[in-house]
């Protein structure tokens, strides 16, 4: 998704998972690995934005992400499942789902969003993204992450959530390993159409054995 201001802002870049630094066994080496993971993801999105071929950029994003999920020590894939991990299941690329959003201000509203582990995280609504896909107009709230270094959260659910896909982007880390905690999309960010692109539900893949524990699945737009 791009903005009407001409900047290719990939909101999913900031749809980050709340990490597991509160665990007693989180070490300095884990912190360095996690920081390297974040830097690698930022670099990946910079490469995507620089590409003149959207489909090739999407393929590069998938291949790089699969490799990091298999090999990186901070991968959300459980360590004992990485050797057999063959990649995240995706639907076919469909350019008709590419869209440009008009980002508008919205009244600031600090609220707590439910987390996949049952807790809550603090976010502040900062705006809305208005866009059209499949000839239907939509509006999703943009929330600023009050913790975890900031970032814009554009989480959403749709008519396929919990059964087929997480929408036109990617599954949060908690969908693969319940020790990760992720914010869930607010009720206002439910699309009324089935999003038939993007990463499929982990339960559809034998290489992703441990789905999230939340009641509703959440997608993050790329």
What pLDDT does residue 130 have?
Answer: 96
pLDDT reported for residue 25:
76
Question: Per-residue pLDDT tens for 183-222?
Answer: 888 999 998 888 888 888 765 544 444 444 434 445 555 4
User: SS3 of 100, please?
Assistant: strand
pLDDT tens readout for residues 108-165? 999 999 988 888 999 999 999 999 988 889 999 999 999 867 788 888 888 877 666 5
Q: Is the distance from CB of 32 to CB of 26 less than 8 angstroms?
A: no
Query: What does the pLDDT read at residue 58?
Result: 92
Q: Which residues pair with 112 in a beta bridge?
A: 122
Measured CA to CA, the distance from residue 77 to residue 85 in angstroms comes to 8
Looking at per-residue pLDDT, the higher value among 104 and 162 belongs to: 104
DSSP SS3 for 115: strand
Token readout for 83 is 């050797």
Rounded distance between C-alpha atoms, residue 80 and residue 5, angstroms: 45
Mean pLDDT of the chain: 80
Report field, pTM of the whole predicted structure over 0.85: no
Contacts of 171 (CB under 8 A, 6+ apart): 88, 199, 201, 202, 217, 219
């Amino acid at each position: 998704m791009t903005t009407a201001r001409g900047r290719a802002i990939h909101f999913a870049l900031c749809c980050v998972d709340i990490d597991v630094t509160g665990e007693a066994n989180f070490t300095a080496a884990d912190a360095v690995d996690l920081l390297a993971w974040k830097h690698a993801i930022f670099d990946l999105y910079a490469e995507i934005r620089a590409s003149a071929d959207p489909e090739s950029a999407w393929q590069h994003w998938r291949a790089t992400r699969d490799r990091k999920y298999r090999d990186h020590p901070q991968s959300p894939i459980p360590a004992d499942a990485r050797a057999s991990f063959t990649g995240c299941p995706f639907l076919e690329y469909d350019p008709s789902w590419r869209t440009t959003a008009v980002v508008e201000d919205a009244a600031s509203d600090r609220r707590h969003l439910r987390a996949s582990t049952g807790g809550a995280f603090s976010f502040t609504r900062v705006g809305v993204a208005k866009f059209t896909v499949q000839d239907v107009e939509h509006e999703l709230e943009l929330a600023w992450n009050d913790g975890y270094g900031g970032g814009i959260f554009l989480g959403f659910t749709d008519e396929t959530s919990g059964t087929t896909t997480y929408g036109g982007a990617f599954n949060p880390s908690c969908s693969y390993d319940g020790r990760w905690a992720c914010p869930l999309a607010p009720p206002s960010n439910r699309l009324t159409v089935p999003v038939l692109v993007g990463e499929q539900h982990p339960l559809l893949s034998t290489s992703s054995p441990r789905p999230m524990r939340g009641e509703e699945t959440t997608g993050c737009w790329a």
